[in-house]
Amino acid sequence: MAKKETKTENLTLTIEEKLKSLYRLQLIDSEIDRIKITRGELPLEVRDLEDEIAGLETRVTNLENEVSQLDSQISARENGKKEAEALIKKYTDQQNNVRNNREYDSLSKEIEFQNLEIELCDKKIKEHKADIETKNVLIEESRTKFEERSKDLEVKKAELDTIIAETQKDEEKLNKQREDIAAVIEPRLLYAYSRIRNNVLNKLAVVSIERDACGGCFNKIPPQRQLDIKSSRKIIPCEYC
């Protein structure tokens, strides 16, 4: 029943009543905007800190995974060294039982190759350990930054919560009033109102004439146009803004 009555009311509203409803809506929205302005940049600062903290968490996780992978590579290289050392011992023992120089030279080449493998393993182990040391420093720096930003976030959230608590009742009351007024405005006008508000910096979609000028852009309005506006026979858009 309520919806049917609202539709009927929309159809029976005069142009003047529609204008007054839009103007009341503008006053309420402006008051809600004022409340949001009192919060300043805090909502953005809180969001930025939350994003930065999430980024630091991801960075620490990625670095720790990289360190784990390097540890695995070091273990693999150390196992490779042990295998090479075992082969060197094996080939050295075999050299004592060779029957000719060809076999001896072949074993010598195998021993030389395994020594090169050990040198390569030592080089890679050294590089991996250096990488781990660098990444551990980055992890520590990121964790320190994470703690600092977390403390900053707590402070900013506390400030924002305080401001919201102080204005919450007023904002809820205004939002309720806004819903009631918006319900009696036809969708076409409401859409146009919202579109204009979203496209202008001052968020003013419905304004009065002030000193023969538009209260939104302050451009002069011709006398004949002012008479048309005062007659309230139709809703007139500003030709400038």
Q: Is-above-0.75 flag for pTM?
A: no
Residue 240 lies in a domain: no
Q: Count structural domains, the chain.
A: 1
Read off the tokens for 157.
Answer: 């959230």
Residue 220 lies in a domain: no
**Phi-psi map region of 232: left, alpha, beta (phi>0 left; psi -120 to 50 alpha):** left
Beta strands in 11-156 (DSSP E): none
Cα 39–Cα 43–Cα 49 angle in degrees, nearest 5: 140
Alpha-carbon gap, residue 203 to 214, rounded angstroms:
14
120 versus 20: which is more confidently predicted?
120
pLDDT at 91 over 50: yes
Which residues have a Cβ under 8 Å from the Cβ of 218 and sit 6 or more positions away? 210
Residue 234 lies in a domain: no
Residue 142 lies in a domain: yes
**84: buried, middle or exposed (CB in 10 Å: 19+, 13-18, 0-12)?**
buried
3-state secondary structure of 163: helix
pLDDT in tens, 149-208: 999 999 999 988 888 888 888 888 999 999 999 888 889 888 888 888 888 888 887 887
Residue 174 lies in a domain: yes
Residue 55 lies in a domain: yes
**58: buried, middle or exposed (CB in 10 Å: 19+, 13-18, 0-12)?**
exposed
DSSP class of 213: E
Which uninterrupted H or E stretch holds 210? strand 209-210
Closest CA to 60 of 133, 131, 127, 144: 144
Average pLDDT of the chain to the nearest whole number = 87
End-to-end CA distance of the chain: 39
pLDDT at 105 over 60: yes
Residue 241 lies in a domain: no
Residue 67 lies in a domain: yes
Q: CATH code at 11?
A: 1.10.287.1490
Alpha-carbon gap, residue 229 to 233, rounded angstroms:
8
166 versus 79: which is more confidently predicted?
79
The range of the structural domain enclosing residue 142 comes to 2-206
Alpha-carbon gap, residue 116 to 174, rounded angstroms:
80
**Contacts of the segment 112-121: beta carbons below 8 A, 24+ positions apart:** 114/84, 114/85, 114/87, 114/88, 115/84, 115/88, 117/80, 117/81, 117/84, 118/81, 118/84, 118/85, 121/77, 121/78, 121/80, 121/81, 121/84
List beta partners, residue 220.
Answer: 213
Comparing 98-102, 175-179, 213-217, which segment has the lowest mean pLDDT? 213-217
List beta partners, residue 209.
Answer: 214
